[in-house]
Amino acid sequence: MKRIISISLVLFLIVSCIGCGFGKAKGKKSEGSDEPIDISEKSSEQYAIITKSADNDYNMRMAQGFQEVIEDSGKDCVIYHPENGLVKEQADYIEKLIREKVACIAVSPVDAKALEPVLKKALDAKICVCSFDAPATPDGRELDISECEGGQMAGMLLDEILEISEGEGAFAIVSSFITSSNQNSWISEIEKLLESDSRYSGLSHSLTAYGDDDYRKSYDQTISLLKTDPDIKVICGLSTVAMQGAAQALRDTGSAVKLIGLGLPSEMADYVGKDKEVPCFFMWDPIHLGKITAYVSMALRTGLVDGSEGEQFKVQENIFTVTKSSDGGTVVIVGEPLRFDSTNIEKWKDVF
């Protein structure tokens, strides 16, 4: 029978019990030892979150949600945004966290395969590891926390491209890092649907460019796409930074090409509208994603969950089920993306 566990309730009880224990008097020496107790040691565990890059509002909001839950639970939160968006920066920091013996590491890998050895080292050191937003390899994680299933995202994007292009024409993609496992999964699923679903037979994927989650590079890559293939009708931005850079490039060039993809309402509001660059786009709440990642991190540490397929857990009123991932590991999907257009952008632009 699948077990349903209310993580928020149990964690609250654990934290409450720990808090009650602080009031008990302790002797000046450890039991059975002449050594004095070291009261400088931290009484709460540390939980770390590592995003892909700095200066990215999407990453900041995920970390914000993570931090809120961790600190509300009476524990310490460590946040790291790699300055240059390099996998070496992530690996070096994980090595540091291993030495510090943190409770759990939540990471969004720049390059999942390259990061696998150090994540396995963390697991061998009895440190819990989960990935979020972009999956680590199955051997480098206990559980992945994902915003959506790859095939679902591919279908949503292709349906919008189909409508905008009136059923036929070429489209291009601006992604983040060439090694990003989540974006690469979406691109792969897009290719599969183009080959297998007759509804998309009139569409063709022309080019893919990589902006490395850098605004200026995403802008320049979009300009390059427009010059390389002047026949493209739609550009699809697969990260919030890619969307920003591509939208401004289309505006500055006066291009008739339309842009869809994944963005934050707060950043894309000025570009959305029938006669503007962006007819519509998608996004989930990154703060919510960060919060669920925090709950999962603590539940892995306490043993409430272990990332097994079929496992169910509850956070407040939401029930989540651990499923088999396409990469052979396990994943939990935290919710469907929201669709934003001119009818609701004003409502959402001040939310996230």
- φ, ψ at 22 (rounded to 5°): -70, -20
Distance CA 68, CA 66 (A): 6
Mean pLDDT of 193-202: 97
Domains contained in the chain, CATH given:
45-147+286-335 (3.40.50.2300), 150-283 (3.40.50.2300)
pLDDT band for 65, please (50, 70, 90 cuts). Answer: very high
Q: What is the pLDDT, as a whole number, of residue 34?
A: 59
One-letter amino acid identity for 182?
Answer: N
pTM (predicted TM-score): 0.85
Partner residues linked to 173 by β-bridges: 208, 236
Distance CA 212, CA 179 (A): 9
Work out the angle between the directed axes of helices 240-253 and 57-72 (0-180°, nearest 10).
Answer: 150
Distance CA 170, CA 203 (A): 6
Model pLDDT for residues 210-256, shown as the tens digit of each residue: 999 999 999 999 999 999 999 999 999 999 999 999 999 999 999 99
